[in-house]
Structure 1
Amino acid sequence: MTRSTNAFVTRTIITPSPPPAGERGLGAWLRRNLFATPKDIVLTILALALLGYIVPHLLNWLFLQAVWDGTDRTFCATKVQGGTQPDGWNGACWAFVKAKYDQMLFGRYPITERWRPTLVAILFVLTLVPLLIPKVPFKGLNAALLLLVLPFISFWLLYGGFGLQIVETPLWGGLMVTLILSFVGIAASLPLGILLALGRRSDLPAIRLICVTFIEIVRGIPLITVLFMASVMLPLFLPTGWTIDKFLRALVGVSIFTSAYMAEVIRGGLQAIPKGQFEGADALGLSYWQKTRLIILPQAIKLVVPSIVNTFIGTFKDTSLVSIIGMYDLLGIVQFNFTDATWATAVTPMTGLVFAGFVFWLFCFGMSRYSSFMERHLDTGHKR
């Protein structure tokens, strides 16, 4: 064999060349994402025109012409309405939110005792955040503190007794009620939903029939009907003199309603597991519960994380329906304060609703972002 002497054959590795200047930077990004085709150009121009029209008015109403301080309605009313603002003024009344802020957080909870829900919130954050961070150790202990210990401590602190002043649940309200209802509903619906999903796929006809009947009945009626039945009809079936706290009835109603939807979400994940996973677990000699706990459920839950979080977000927003049965959550407190003559102005309702909507969005957006993080963290099967 003869050795090639072609001069055009290189014997060294050439370093990668940088991309062309036209394919880098802001201009290239705009061209690829906003001006790639004539259709994209038209839609981009229309979107920019719409934003150019809406954003200035929105900023003007929210911030520039908004009233930030005041003690009564005169600060947020025009002169025609008996206030101090010029005629034609149009801005948010954040002074109303500032004046009612504590009530929006705690409802009618006694002012001198509001350190108790504040302490519960701090304990909740201290136990929840480490559980959400994958690298933090002792997850089992952390989960036990959050799901088993904290509920009893929280009930004692919020309700009272054993040295603390008793605060009846009708005095609870605001964001505190929203968070309690949503957290209990979320924490209770996931294990109940898993059991219902497993029961619906059971080989035992009686268990399967019970689970299917429960799921289909609960999913077939709206949440407001469940809440009305728990609040109005349930006492009719109790013995004379017996009663169940209305707040507890709402907790049970929200948990049962959410668990039916969660069961279908989990069932979708179970059906997506290949049959070979079940056969492989059986070949290893694992029992039904070992197979389910160690092999099937982890894979099924991983597949349906977006749907689970979507159900959680829906539960968080649906808690506002408890105002129909006379419980004042965040939205209920905001609406209740619209009747306060001290702050009765044309812009007060819109300002309160914008504030409540922003709070709901903040929590829902946080759950959505954490869901995306968990999807990336658990996506181990498709890494390049």
Structure 2
Amino acid sequence: MSDITASSFVRRDLVPERAAPIKTTGLVGFLRTRLFNSPTNILLTIVSVLLLWFTVVPAVKFLLLDAVWTGKDRTACLSETAGHAVGACWPFVQAKFSQFIYGFYPEAERWRVNLTFFLAALLLLPLLIPRLPAKGLNAGLFFIALPVIAFFLLHGGGLGGFGVSWTAELLSGFNDSIGDGGQKLARAGEATAVVGPLLLLLGKLIVLLSTAISYVIWPLTWLRDQIQASVRPVWTDLAATAAIISILLFVLNGGIRTGWRSLIVSLATFAGIGIVIAVMALDRGGLPVVDTRLWGGLLVTLVVSVTGIVASMPVGIALALGRRSTIPLIRVFSVAFIEFWRGVPLITVLFFATYMLPLFVPTGFTMDGLVRALIGIALFAGAYQAEVIRGGLQAIPRGQGEAASALGLSYWKTTGLIVMPQALRHVIPGLVNSFIALFKDTSLVSIVALFDLLGQLRAAFADPVWATPSTLFTGFAFTGLIYFVFCFGMSRYSLFVENRLNAHRRT
């Protein structure tokens, strides 16, 4: 019995060798597991390789292999001169490079553009690195101080006054516009028989309102006249403005008990402004004026896009909060504003901002063409940002606000410290997508005679010295690479910020 059992369950032959495991690492493993692991993936891989072969290979051949790298005019980029089919004509880019960057900015003053670019990069890089300290000071310098300095660097000119004078001029012009409108309405009422008494009464009420406003702003206008009559009006105006604002901040922030910090910060800020005025000689006329019609190229593209991106964010946040407001007037205004600007093409916005906006400003108040375009772009982009931000606000549970209210926080503290940071974190992809779209839409400013990067490229094509069959494609390839670098950089940085803010959610 034992012999039978032993012969039945004891193996007499060796077990055959198993097949080697499939390699899943390295290049071979990647090809086997990712590209050729199923019939569908095999088909997609073949199609993708063919697509790359018919797009990337000709592009590399045009841009690098068959390209012409040196030359002084169009003859260097002709196939008869090169002896082969000519690809990109890079001498054209080299000859027009300064035009692509500065436009028609005077060559002797281009150091001002370079200095502006340097200051922007110097302040932006620390702001983008999370671990570097003093983010509040850095943000204040970049978003508040840099635009003012950049304006006087790029445009030139000096200061004819400061806060008190500017405020008095603006209010006086606004009041004069109201008074003129009231007088015209009263005269129309006297000449109209049907609704004449109503128009006459309305006109007189408006004139009476204008008179009341003039009495209210009289101390400010009197102070302006005294400042302008002084020996050094800019410094006198700066001192008066610093004193008024510093005292107001000191009083509003608690006075003697808790207002000292605000007072010191205000005085330090105005001291910095005074240093800038002295260094740039703004009280003595400043740098030579360069009209914005001479700006162009990458300079205009960056000015329009950065200003639009930065200015549209507070507009979008205000509109998003206004659309969720419980006050009907604010909600209706926000909804109407958003729907109006989203329903109008950007070209129409630029056209009306350039040619119609001057009709709505106070009497005697002029506005540069570039500034008008910037205002239109900021309002247009703000309407789109509002809907993106509103989507983030709707993603925040109501319990967040209710918990903050239970702790005694006000609406503004709840919004600024709890709700809005979480909402903005949720909509980072949408915001950056809007930023990228706005950066590329800056090419539309050419409709109002502002030559951005693409506008300067089209102007360069008109030069007969570089008229070749490949010049057109070379120029668009060069500008396309510039746009890609900026857009890809924004995309990658947004991904970095998104991963950093969502690190606590990883499992």
Same fold flag (TM > 0.5): yes
Q: Structure 1: 5+ residue runs without aligned partners?
A: 1-19
Match of 1:279 among 402, 417, 429: 402
Structure 2 residue 142 is matched with structure 1 residue 141: no
Structure 2 residue 289 is matched with structure 1 residue 288: no
Secondary structure of 1:100's partner?
Answer: helix
Which region of structure 1 is more displaced relative to structure 2, 20-29 or 214-223? 20-29
The residue aligned with 2:101 is 105
Q: Deviations over 1:26-73 (max 9, x none)?
A: 222222221121010011112213323333322221111111111111
CA contact (8 A) 2:104 2:295 kept: yes
Deviation, structure 1 residue 228: 0.7
CA contact (8 A) 2:24 2:33 kept: no
Q: Structure 2: 5+ residue runs without aligned partners?
A: 1-20, 158-281
The residue aligned with 1:89 is 85
Which region of structure 1 is more displaced relative to structure 2, 232-241 or 140-149? 232-241
The residue aligned with 1:128 is 124
Distance 1:238 1:148, change over 3 A: closer
Q: Deviations over 1:56-103 (max 9, x none)?
A: 322221111111111111111244xxxx244x7231111101100011
Which region of structure 1 is more displaced relative to structure 2, 135-144 or 224-233? 224-233
The residue aligned with 2:25 is 24
In structure 2, distance between residues paired with 1:64 and 1:335:
26
Structure 2 residue 378 is matched with structure 1 residue 255: yes
Match of 2:485 among 325, 339, 362: 362
Deviation, structure 1 residue 236: 4.5
Which region of structure 1 is more displaced relative to structure 2, 58-67 or 281-290? 58-67
Structure 2 residue 60 is matched with structure 1 residue 59: yes
The residue aligned with 1:12 is none
The residue aligned with 2:498 is 375
Deviation, structure 1 residue 238: 5.5
The residue aligned with 1:318 is 441
The residue aligned with 2:38 is 37
In structure 2, distance between residues paired with 1:114 and 1:33:
52
CA contact (8 A) 2:92 2:466 kept: yes
In structure 2, distance between residues paired with 1:55 and 1:141:
46
Deviation, structure 1 residue 348: 0.8
Which region of structure 1 is more displaced relative to structure 2, 108-117 or 53-62? 53-62
The residue aligned with 1:184 is 307
CA contact (8 A) 2:68 2:91 kept: yes
Structure 2 residue 293 is matched with structure 1 residue 170: yes
Secondary structure of 2:451's partner?
Answer: coil
Secondary structure of 1:150's partner?
Answer: helix
In structure 2, distance between residues paired with 1:318 and 1:92:
26
In structure 2, distance between residues paired with 1:242 and 1:123:
31
Secondary structure of 2:505's partner?
Answer: coil
Secondary structure of 1:297's partner?
Answer: helix
In structure 2, distance between residues paired with 1:341 and 1:241:
44
Q: Over alpha carbons, which structure has the higher Rg?
A: 2
Which region of structure 1 is more displaced relative to structure 2, 158-167 or 177-186? 158-167
- Greater fraction of residues in helix: 2
Deviation, structure 1 residue 380: 3.4
Which region of structure 1 is more displaced relative to structure 2, 238-247 or 177-186? 238-247
- Partner letter of residue 293 of structure 1? G
Q: TM-score, normalised by structure 2?
A: 0.69
In structure 2, distance between residues paired with 1:293 and 1:242:
35
Q: TM-score, normalised by structure 1?
A: 0.90
In structure 2, distance between residues paired with 1:60 and 1:354:
13
In structure 1, distance between residues paired with 2:364 and 2:82:
56
